[in-house]
Structure 1
Amino acid sequence: MPEIFTWTPQRGYSVERTPNVAVVKFGDGYEQRQTKGINPLMAKYSLTFRGVNDEKCSRPNAAKAADEFLTARMAVESFYWTPSDTGVQALFICRSWSLTKTGSLYELTATFEQVPR
């Protein structure tokens, strides 16, 4: 059973949706389009997580915790995450991410790709 990713990204993020469509082209520029598969619309989210490494702060550092979570899965294991734009939990994978440290501020940028259940 996949784990659940529980950290909340910064308020702004982008989502890319590319329908999986089969296209057959005919003469005179006419084409016929049809969705492919049982999951024809998967989403890809570009997210940012920030956290401060401060001993006075009782909140866990979201960026470092997210980095540990993603590192443990190594782009092999999928995980559940609930995007705020849909409110529906789905299965995702993260193939790569970047962690930047500036003083006590950590910033993680990642792309979550939806995968079929």
Structure 2
Amino acid sequence: MSLPTFSPPVAPSPGTAFKPTIKILEADFGDGYSQPTPKGLNNIRETLTLAWGGLTDWQMVEINDFFRARRGSEPFWFAPVGDAAARLWTCKEWDRKTDQGIWQMTATLVESFSLQA
């Protein structure tokens, strides 16, 4: 199965936020000594917060429909600003609001290490 690529109709607004979640196992031995080790092969998972301001109806619908079609579980390809290559992501959280026909959206993408690729 070929996975889709997220290509929004307009680039996200400036201010994209990247936040890594790092999972480690750590044994504490007392007196301030500990032994940390990565938890699993992919112990660093990136979370990306995207925002769009000033969207038209059709731009908002295109972005919203893409996320709804993935249903929060199907990974998709996306290359955030500053990345040379696309990576796999999922999106379980997004919101949209309007003010006099101008739409704003935010979406939280979580890096996916799914075997579906």
Could you tell me which residue of structure 2 aligns to residue 81 of structure 1? Answer: 78
SS at match of 1:10: coil
- Which stretches in structure 1 are left out of the alignment for 5+ residues? 54-59
Gaps spanning 5+ residues in structure 2: where? Answer: none
How far apart in 1 are the matches of 2:36 and 2:83?
A: 26
Matches within 5 A, 1:42-61: 42-50=45-53, 51-53=55-57, 61=59
Partner of 2:27: 24
1:1-117 equivalences under 5 Å are 1-7=2-8, 8-50=11-53, 51-53=55-57, 61=59, 63-117=60-114
Per the TM alignment, residue 25 of structure 1 is displaced from its structure 2 partner at its CA by: 0.7
- Give distance in 1, aligned partners of 2:113 and 2:75: 10
State the Cα distance separating 1:93 from its structure 2 match: 0.5
**In the comparison of the two structures, how many residue pairs are matched?**
110
Deviations 1:10-50 (A, max 9, x none): 12111101222111111112111111222121100111123
Q: Is the 8 A contact 1:64 1:106 kept in 2?
A: no
Aligned partner letter, 1:32: Q
Q: Offset at 1:64?
A: 2.5
User: What letter corresponds to residue 110 of structure 2 in structure 1?
Assistant: E
Superposition RMSD in Å:
1.5
**TM-score, length basis structure 2:** 0.85
Residue deviations 1:76-106 (CA, integer Å, cap 9, x gap): 2111110113232111111111011111211
Task: Give the TM-score of the pair, scaled to structure 1.
Answer: 0.85
